[in-house]
C-alpha cells in the first residue's frame, strides 16, 4: 500500500502553509476524531508528498492475523465479515496503511461488493472488501477530491463520520468498522467542493509555492538529492521522524487526560457564533482540535491559544456560503472574538475539572480551506467607449439540458446511461458481472431448468443467464457561454441584467456539477475569456469584470465557440456540450455582412450536432426578433432573458428540456 521510501515531511517547510499542514496532519494523527484534513493549493506545492510522508510516522497497529478488515485484537468488531474472531487468537503488528482512492474509482471499489455471480451460481456468500476496509486504522488519501463523483464523496464522508461502512444491495446487508485518518487534496482552479461537503472535513489548510528565491532553490536542491539517492536522503531524517512518531504516540496516550474547562468551551461557542457558522460541527471540531493540540504540547488543560490555533484551521472553509464566495478567515475578527469573550470569562476559572475532552466518539469529517481562487481579478480601466455594469441579483433558473441520452460523467443536468439511477432494462455482462438485474436473470434461466436436470427447489444458473441492470440517471455537461459584450448590449443598462442572468446560470451549472467555459465578443473580435473548467467561481469572477462596448462581431463569437467545442470533443468525447448564446441577435462589424456570416456559422454548428439555446436580450417596445432567427439557425430554442427564472412559464424552455 505504501512505497518503500517516501520523501520525509521535514524538508517541505519552505512551502507557504506547510507548517500549518504539518500541524493539521499531526493533530489528526493524535486524534482521528477531528475528522481529517482538506489541503487546498496550486499545482506543484508538495501536497501529495506531505500526505504520503505522514504514513511513515503513524504508529504501528496490532491486528488479528488473517483479518482483511484489520480488526483490533483488543476491540474486535462483532460484525466483521471475516469473524467471529477469537480474542486469544493469533495477532500481528504491522505499519499503518496508506490507502489511496483514485478519482476514477467505482462505488464497488470503495465500499466493496458481494460477488453476485458466485452467490447465484455457487450459493457462496463471497464478499470482496473495498478501500474503506483496507484503510481501517490507517490513512485514506484522496487526491483531487474535488473531482471525485458526488456519490462517492458522500459514501466516503459518511464512513469517516460514522466509523462504519455499510453495503446494502441485492438483499444482502454487510457492515464493518472503517475508522481512518482522512486526507484530501485539491487544486481550487479545477473546481470547488459543495459547501456541505466542505463542512464534513475537520480542518483545512492552504498551501502555495514560496516566492523567495532562496526557499525555491532549497526545495529544488533537496528534490534533486532525493531523486539521486532516495534511501540516503530519507536516512538523513530518520531520527527526526522517529522522534515525531514517538511524540504522536505519547500525545495519543495523554489525550484522555486533557481537560476542557467550561469557560474555554463557551469561548469556542462564542467564536463560532461570532462568525455565524452554520450548524454545530465547527464547535465540535474546534474543541477536538484544541484538545489534541494541548496533548501534542504535553499539557493537561486547554487554553485560549489552543482555541485560536484550532479555529484558524477549522473555520476558513466554513465561511463559504455560496459558490462565488472565496473561503477565508479574518484573523483580526478571530482575535476580537477571542478577546471579547476573555473580557467576560477567564478561560481557566473552571480549572482542570472542566468539561470532558470530546475525543471518544467518531468524528464527522469536516471540510476545506481558504483560497483566493474565487476572488475577482482586479478590474481594468475601461477605454473610451467602454463601460462596466454591476450584475443584478441571481435567481434560480430553469434547467437547460442537452437532448437525447448521453454516457458522460455523473451529474445533474442531462439524461445519460450511468451506474446509478433508475433501472431501465438489462443487458448481458461483457466482463465481470456487477450489479445484476435479478428478475431478468431468473427469466433467462427459467426455460433451461429442465434441460439442466433441475430436481430441487434451487435454480440452476449458468453464466450465460446473468443479466446486468441498465440504469439511467443524469450526467454533467460542458456549458459554454457565448456572451455578447458589445455596445448594443450595454445600452439601456441591459448588461447588468445580462450579467445577473449568466451568474444565475453559472450557479445552476455549479449545482449540476458541470464544466463551464466563457467566450465573449465585442469590438472586432472574440476571445476565450475562460477555457472550460470546473471552477465556476473563476468564471463568475471573469464575468463580473467584463468590459462592454464597441461593435458586435457575432460571427466571430460563434466561430470561436465552435473551435473551443471542437478541441473539447477531442479531449473528452463522452462529455456532451450545451452552448448558451447570450445576445440580442444584432451583428455589426467593419465592412458589414456579419449577420449572414453569423447564420452560416450557426448552421455549421447545428450540422455538427451542437446543442444550443439562445438567451434573447432584446428589450424595448420594438423587437426585431434577430435572436429568434439565430436560434432557428442553431436548431435550438430562444428564451427571453426574463423567462430564465424557474418560476416563469416558458413553453419554449419546457419543450427544449422536457422539464416540468
Residues 6+ apart with CB under 8 A from 399: 413, 508, 512, 657, 659
Q: Which uninterrupted H or E stretch holds 356?
A: strand 355-356
* Residue pair 576/474 in contact by the 8 Å Cβ criterion: no
Question: What is the rounded distance in angstroms from the CA atom of residue 50 to the CA atom of residue 52?
Answer: 6
Q: Which uninterrupted H or E stretch holds 567?
A: helix 554-571
Within 10 angstroms of residue 493's Cβ, the number of other Cβ atoms is 12
Within 10 angstroms of residue 370's Cβ, the number of other Cβ atoms is 21
Strands (E), 178-255: 181-186, 203-207
Closest CA to 226 of 426, 557, 51, 5: 5
> Which neighbouring-strand residues pair with 579?
480, 612
Residue 616 DSSP class: E
What is the overall mean pLDDT for the chain? 80
**108-142 residues labelled b (16+ CB within 10 A) or e (exposed):** bbbbbbbbbbebbbeeeeebebbbbbbbbbbbbbb
pLDDT per residue as tens digits for the range 568-580: 999 989 899 999 9
pLDDT per residue as tens digits for the range 501-518: 888 888 888 778 888 889
Query: Within 13 Å, how many C-alpha atoms sit on residue 474's CB side?
Result: 16
Question: What is the rounded distance in angstroms from the CA atom of residue 509 to the CA atom of residue 529?
Answer: 17
Residues 6+ apart with CB under 8 A from 196: none
Instruction: Tell me the mean pLDDT in the region 250-260.
Output: 94
Within 10 angstroms of residue 635's Cβ, the number of other Cβ atoms is 16
* Residue pair 401/657 in contact by the 8 Å Cβ criterion: yes
pLDDT of residue 374: 41
Of the segments 40-49, 385-394, 484-493, which one has the largest average pLDDT value?
40-49
| Three-class secondary structure of residue 368 per DSSP | coil
Alpha carbon 107 to its chain's center: 16
pLDDT of residue 310: 94
Of the segments 1-5, 203-207, 460-464, 607-611, which one has the largest average pLDDT value?
607-611
Of residues 453 and 123, more confidence is placed in 453
Question: What is the rounded distance in angstroms from the CA atom of residue 137 to the CA atom of residue 1?
Answer: 13
pLDDT per residue as tens digits for the range 383-430: 554 556 777 788 888 888 899 888 887 788 888 887 776 777 788 887
Grid cell digits, residue 72: 483490533
Of residues 276 and 347, more confidence is placed in 276
Grid cell digits, residue 234: 530519507
Instruction: Give the N- to C-terminal CA distance of the chain in Å, as an integer.
Output: 49
pLDDT per residue as tens digits for the range 112-163: 876 665 665 565 567 788 999 999 999 999 988 887 877 788 888 888 878 8
pLDDT of residue 44: 80
Question: What is the rounded distance in angstroms from the CA atom of residue 566 to the CA atom of residue 571?
Answer: 9
Say whether pLDDT at 1 is over 50: no
Active site residue 281: yes
Say whether pLDDT at 548 is over 90: no
| Three-class secondary structure of residue 214 per DSSP | helix
> Which neighbouring-strand residues pair with 91?
64
Within 10 angstroms of residue 361's Cβ, the number of other Cβ atoms is 10
pLDDT of residue 419: 73
Q: Which of 40, 222, 281, 318 is catalytic?
A: 281
Signed CA dihedral, 39, 41, 47, 50: sign only? negative
Grid cell digits, residue 525: 473580435
pLDDT per residue as tens digits for the range 178-225: 999 889 988 877 777 777 677 888 999 988 888 888 888 888 888 898
* Cell 511524540 found at: 247
Worst-scoring range by mean pLDDT, 125-134, 234-243, 327-336?
Answer: 327-336
Confidence of residue 347 (pLDDT cuts 50, 70, 90): very low
* Residue pair 363/34 in contact by the 8 Å Cβ criterion: yes
Residues 6+ apart with CB under 8 A from 397: 501, 504, 505, 507, 508, 644, 645, 646
Torsion of CA 568, 569, 570, 575, to 10 degrees: 90
Within 10 angstroms of residue 641's Cβ, the number of other Cβ atoms is 19
Closest CA to 632 of 650, 659, 614: 614
Is the backbone of residue 243 left (phi > 0), alpha (psi -120 to 50) or beta? alpha
* Residue pair 517/482 in contact by the 8 Å Cβ criterion: no
Confidence of residue 248 (pLDDT cuts 50, 70, 90): very high
> Which neighbouring-strand residues pair with 473?
416
Amino acid at each position: 500500500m505504501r512505497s518503500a521510501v517516501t520523501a520525509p515531511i521535514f524538508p517541505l517547510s519552505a512551502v507557504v502553509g506547510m507548517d500549518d499542514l504539518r500541524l493539521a496532519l499531526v493533530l489528526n494523527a493524535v486524534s482521528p476524531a477531528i475528522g481529517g484534513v482538506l489541503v487546498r493549493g496550486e499545482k506543484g506545492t508538495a501536497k501529495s508528498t506531505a500526505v504520503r510522508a505522514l504514513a511513515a510516522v503513524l504508529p504501528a497497529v496490532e491486528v488479528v492475523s488473517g483479518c482483511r478488515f484489520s480488526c483490533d485484537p483488543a476491540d474486535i468488531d462483532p460484525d466483521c465479515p471475516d469473524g467471529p474472531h477469537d480474542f486469544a487468537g493469533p495477532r500481528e503488528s504491522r505499519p499503518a496503511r496508506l490507502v489511496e482512492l483514485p478519482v476514477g474509482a467505482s462505488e464497488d471499489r470503495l465500499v466493496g461488493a458481494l460477488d453476485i455471480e458466485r452467490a447465484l451460481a455457487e450459493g457462496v456468500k463471497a464478499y470482496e472488501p473495498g478501500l474503506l476496509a483496507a484503510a481501517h486504522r490507517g490513512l485514506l488519501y484522496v487526491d483531487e477530491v474535488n473531482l471525485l463523483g458526488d456519490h462517492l464523496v458522500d459514501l466516503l464522508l459518511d464512513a469517516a463520520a460514522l466509523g462504519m461502512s455499510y453495503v446494502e444491495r441485492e438483499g444482502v446487508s454487510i457492515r464493518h468498522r472503517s475508522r481512518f485518518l482522512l486526507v484530501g487534496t485539491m487544486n481550487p482552479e479545477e473546481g470547488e467542493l459543495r459547501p456541505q461537503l466542505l463542512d464534513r472535513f475537520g480542518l483545512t489548510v492552504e498551501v502555495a509555492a514560496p516566492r523567495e528565491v532562496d526557499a525555491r532553490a532549497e526545495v529544488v536542491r533537496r528534490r534533486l538529492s532525493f531523486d539521486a539517492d532516495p534511501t540516503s536522503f530519507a536516512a538523513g531524517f530518520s531520527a527526526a521522524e522517529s522522534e515525531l512518531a514517538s511524540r504522536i504516540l505519547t500525545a495519543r496516550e495523554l489525550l484522555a487526560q486533557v481537560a476542557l474547562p467550561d469557560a474555554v468551551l463557551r469561548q469556542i461557542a462564542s467564536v463560532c457564533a461570532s462568525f455565524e457558522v452554520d450548524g454545530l460541527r465547527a464547535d465540535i471540531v474546534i474543541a477536538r482540535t484544541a484538545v489534541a493540540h494541548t496533548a501534542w504540547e504535553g499539557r493537561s488543560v486547554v487554553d485560549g491559544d489552543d482555541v485560536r490555533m484550532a479555529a484558524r484551521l477549522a473555520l476558513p472553509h466554513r465561511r463559504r456560503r455560496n459558490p462565488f464566495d472565496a473561503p477565508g478567515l479574518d484573523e483580526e475578527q478571530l482575535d476580537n472574538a477571542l478577546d471579547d469573550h476573555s473580557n467576560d470569562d477567564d478561560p481557566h476559572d473552571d480549572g482542570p475539572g472542566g468539561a470532558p475532552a470530546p475525543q471518544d466518539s467518531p468524528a464527522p469529517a469536516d471540510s476545506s480551506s481558504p483560497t483566493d481562487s474565487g476572488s475577482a481579478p482586479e478590474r481594468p480601466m475601461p477605454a473610451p467607449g467602454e463601460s462596466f455594469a454591476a450584475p443584478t441579483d441571481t435567481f434560480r433558473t430553469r434547467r437547460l439540458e442537452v437532448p437525447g441520452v448521453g454516457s458522460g460523467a455523473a451529474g445533474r443536468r442531462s439524461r445519460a446511461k450511468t451506474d446509478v439511477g433508475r433501472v431501465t432494462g438489462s443487458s448481458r455482462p461483457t466482463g465481470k458481472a456487477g450489479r445484476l438485474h435479478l428478475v431478468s436473470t431468473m427469466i433467462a434461466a427459467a426455460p433451461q431448468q429442465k434441460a439442466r436436470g433441475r430436481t430441487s427447489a434451487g435454480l440452476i444458473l449458468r453464466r450465460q443467464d446473468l443479466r446486468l441492470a441498465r440504469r439511467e440517471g443524469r450526467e454533467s455537461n460542458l456549458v459554454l457561454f457565448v456572451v455578447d459584450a458589445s455596445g448594443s448590449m450595454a445600452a439601456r443598462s441591459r448588461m447588468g441584467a445580462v450579467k445577473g442572468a449568466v451568474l444565475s446560470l453559472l450557479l445552476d451549472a455549479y449545482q449540476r456539477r458541470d464544466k463551464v467555459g466563457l467566450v465573449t465578443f465585442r469590438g472586432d473580435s472574440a476571445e476565450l475569456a475562460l477555457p472550460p473548467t470546473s471552477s465556476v467561481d473563476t468564471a463568475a469572477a471573469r464575468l463580473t469584470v467584463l468590459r462592454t462596448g464597441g461593435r458586435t462581431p457575432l460571427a466571430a463569437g460563434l466561430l470561436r465557440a465552435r473551435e473551443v467545442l471542437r478541441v473539447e470533443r477531442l479531449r473528452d468525447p463522452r462529455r456532451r456540450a450545451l452552448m448558451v448564446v447570450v445576445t440580442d441577435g444584432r451583428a455589426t462589424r467593419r465592412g458589414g455582412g456579419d449577420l449572414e456570416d453569423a447564420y452560416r456559422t450557426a448552421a455549421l454548428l447545428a450540422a455538427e450536432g451542437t446543442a444550443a439555446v439562445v438567451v434573447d436580450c432584446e428589450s424595448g417596445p420594438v423587437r426585431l426578433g434577430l435572436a429568434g432567427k439565430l436560434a432557428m439557425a442553431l436548431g435550438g430554442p430562444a428564451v427571453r432573458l426574463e423567462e430564465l427564472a424557474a418560476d416563469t412559464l416558458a413553453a419554449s424552455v419546457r419543450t427544449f428540456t422536457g422539464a416540468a
